Structure 1
């Protein structure tokens, strides 16, 4: 990420809360070390970026199918993260826009949403826009909903989520699930669990 400043979070301007999926709303036990071994991806490279660089169409399709299969298998074993249900109910009660932006494929993302009964209908996957940390999906949502960038809060658990929000000139919320995170200094706000965000919004 470049040296763009952290975008401040202004709760009174909030009109949308958008989420990452894996290990933000629902669990993910994907074994990326195992997956890298299966597809021959070096440890230093992002799995999705690596798969897109394979020149041979047949080999590229085979690798991308292995990634998809691993994602779908992970979806069936997923469960909601603490505070997920409470926060989604709060968003509904406040009539806020919401959506999911994930690096997952659409098939796996939809499977996770259905399996965990999240009730979120707007799902943006890597098939729709370049994957995070690209800001394209977030920018498109703001335009679709006709809201200012600062009125959309993106919630995630990883650096790519924070970078995507910053690159879109939007505030970010890092959810740590009670664990130490090296990304806390780069997010607009930090919460231990999803339901902690409700308390933050209600106090303001």
Structure 2
């Protein structure tokens, strides 16, 4: 597969992209009184200070319980090692809490130092976190790919002017036409990146 533009850096979502997750968002919404069709983080932001604190505590309980059972998805470590060998910068941008995200990263032994959580920047699909990495790396957004498994990931990449890569894991998603590229899993993404790298090397 030919990428739209040369990829010089890759940013990943975390849950459902690099690691397994058993978070049940419908249950979390019920526990904090969030309507089923509302975004959890947007809902919490509009609560009173006391309600905001209680809702965040509930969400954290769910996230921490999930973090203790998280496992690296098949192909995640080999893909990250490949990118490291190619000197391609990597980072994680997640709507998860920093505490839970750091546990998952350490538990799965991912060698990624750049992590942006909902506590660090406006959450996806806002592009703020992605654009901050673009500035930090001094790499134009169009030469960065953002990899995720959900609508917010595709929207965040598109909003930032980056290349959006959607992992479908064999299931058609109603928004996959919004993504620049779709792959069944991380192994297929790895193979495509390796082929693209080889082709670029032959052209030099």
TM-score past 0.5 threshold: yes
Q: 157, 169, 182: which is aligned to 1:177?
A: 169
Cα distance in 1 for partners of 2:38, 2:135 equals 32
RMSD after superposition: 1.3
Q: Which residue of 2 aligns with 1:100?
A: 92
Give the superposition deviation at 1:201.
2.1
Query: SS of 1:174's equivalent?
Result: strand
**Structure 2 residue ranges without an equivalent (≥5):** 197-204
Bigger RCO of structures 1 and 2 (CA < 8 A, at least 6 apart):
1
Q: Select between 25-34 and 193-202 the one with higher mean Cα deviation.
A: 193-202
Cα distance in 2 for partners of 1:22, 1:28 equals 6
TM-score with structure 1 setting the length: 0.92
Does residue 168 (structure 1) correspond to residue 160 (structure 2)? The answer is: yes
Give the superposition deviation at 1:119.
1.8
Does residue 149 (structure 1) correspond to residue 135 (structure 2)? The answer is: no
Runs (4 or more) in structure 1 with deviation over 6 Å come to none
Task: State the number of aligned residues.
Answer: 195
Q: Select between 110-119 and 17-26 the one with higher mean Cα deviation.
A: 110-119
Give the superposition deviation at 1:200.
1.2
TM-score with structure 2 setting the length: 0.92
Give the superposition deviation at 1:165.
0.4
**Structure 1 residue ranges without an equivalent (≥5):** 1-7
Q: Which residue of 2 aligns with 1:32?
A: 25
Does residue 52 (structure 1) correspond to residue 45 (structure 2)? The answer is: yes
Q: 162, 166, 180: which is aligned to 1:188?
A: 180
